[in-house]
Every structure is written in structure tokens, then in C-alpha cells.
Amino acid sequence: MISHATVLGRAHRLMQHNCQDFAAAANPTPHLAIGIVCDGCGSKFVANGRSHPSHNETGANLLGQFAIDFLSQKLAALPTPICPETVETTLADLHLAAISFLHHLTAHFPEATRREFIATRLLTTLVGFVRTAETAVFFWQGDGFLVANGRIQPLHSNNQPNYLAYQLLQPEPNQTNFQLAFIPQPEQLRWLAVATDGWRAELLEQLAEPRPALPLQRWLNVQAQQRGQFDDDGGVAIWHKEIMNCE
């Protein structure tokens, strides 16, 4: 079972800002699961003594949807079994395609405004997982959380994530793929999750209980009302292993 949800954080709710997080999950074939979360940068852009508010939820939604659609199509078309090397190559293809996609979005902007558009619309993290019958891998560019069978790995960036759209401003030719972490003994996986940095580790532990999309969203809405939870926005994508009941 796969599910995903997002919630507007307290700070953005009080300021009547949009949610800057995106989450999506896909199950294009019976043995293929994909989850992605994105977190748009909230920092203002300052140029020529002027401050410009950010609307990087635009990039989070565009890049996140592009990534989930790209992986769903490419991975579902592969012959089985899908080995780890093939998944790694497909993720490198996504990395290149995502940069090309962002370039196309800015291609017709005058140079005088292109940098501002990138900094206020396209700066977003991207954290995800791919699970096949043969392997499972996390991939990311930016901060957030990785969770495998309840083991939580924070992705720290000192509040300076290496956004993919930085490649449009200062290309790094040697950066040809996301950071990857293949999960050992994938056949023993019970559940996987990726989350944005607005979450707390103790709340992520409660995701072990499988919830379909609507109950997950309702549960998340309740958690966001609790003191100390979700000052920032939150996004999560989860896969749970289906348990077959034999009667």
C-alpha cells in the first residue's frame, strides 16, 4: 500500500502563505512503488537592495510531479527483474531530465529576471524512494528524512540545501546523479517513508501503522494542531508491504 499527504505549517498558516511542500506516491505496477517529497525554499531573494518573497512551492509542485511521472513511466516499461544497477541508471536519467526540465521553464526569461525567477520559484529539495521486487533505494538532493522499517535517517544541510535548480545558476558537471542509499536485505522491508524537514522523528515513528491516503491526511491534520508539531510545512510519502490474510 502506498499513500502520501501534506500539511500547512503553523508559521505559514498564520502568515496566510501557501504550503511549500509537495508529496506524491505511485504504484504503476504490482511490484513497483515510488514516493517523492519536495520542500520549496522559504528564503527571500535580495537583489539591488530589494527583497523579493519566495513562492518556491511552484518549483516543488512542478519538479515533484515531473519526477513521479518520469519514474513511473520509465520503471514500469523495464523488463523484470529490475536490478539495482538499472534503477541507479534510471535515477541518473531523472537527474539529467529534471535539470533539462528546469532549463526549459526559464529558457525565455530575460537574463535580468531569470535569476530572480529561479530563486523565488524553482528552489526545492527532492527526496524519494524506489522499491521493486528485487531492490529498494532512497535518492535525494536536499534535506529531509529517510525511514526504513522505523529506522530514521535525518538528512542535514545546515539550512543550506543543495537545490537541483542551483545547476541553472552555477552548473556542476561532475554532479550526474542524486545521492543514493540502497537498502540492504530489501526482501525484509515492511515499510518505507520519505519526509520533508518539518517532521519530528518521534512522529515519523507513528507512520509504522498503515493508513490509506485519506485517513493519513486526517491523522496528519490532527497532529498539526498539537503544540510543538509542524511549525513548518510537512510532506510525506509512504509504502507499506501488503500483508496477505490466509483464511
pTM: 0.94
% the chain with pLDDT above 70? 98
According to the model, what pLDDT value does residue 49 have?
Answer: 73
According to the model, what pLDDT value does residue 246 have?
Answer: 47
Under the banding of pLDDT at 50, 70 and 90, the label for residue 173 is confident
Number of Cβ atoms within 10 Å of the Cβ of 76: 14
What is the phi/psi pair of residue 167, to 5°? -65, -25
Q: C-alpha 50: how far from its chain's center? A: 31
Under the banding of pLDDT at 50, 70 and 90, the label for residue 245 is low
Q: What is the mean pLDDT of residues 92-115?
A: 95
% the chain with pLDDT above 90? 79
Cβ contacts of 58 within 8 Å, gap of 6 or more? 40, 121, 122
Domain boundaries, the chain: 2-189+197-240
Give the separation between CA 92 and CA 77, rounded to whole angstroms.
16
Under the banding of pLDDT at 50, 70 and 90, the label for residue 16 is confident
Q: C-alpha 93: how far from its chain's center? A: 17
The answer on pLDDT for 212 being more than 70 is yes
The answer on pLDDT for 244 being more than 70 is no
Give the separation between CA 158 and CA 143, rounded to whole angstroms.
9
500483508: which residue's cell? 243
Instruction: Please provide the average confidence, as pLDDT, over all residues in the chain.
Output: 93
CATH 3.60.40.10, applies to 2-189+197-240: yes
pLDDT in tens, 45-80: 777 777 778 899 999 999 999 999 999 999 999 999
Contact 95, 176 (CB under 8 A): yes
Give the separation between CA 67 and CA 51, rounded to whole angstroms.
31
Give the separation between CA 179 and CA 126, rounded to whole angstroms.
11
Give the separation between CA 184 and CA 188, rounded to whole angstroms.
9
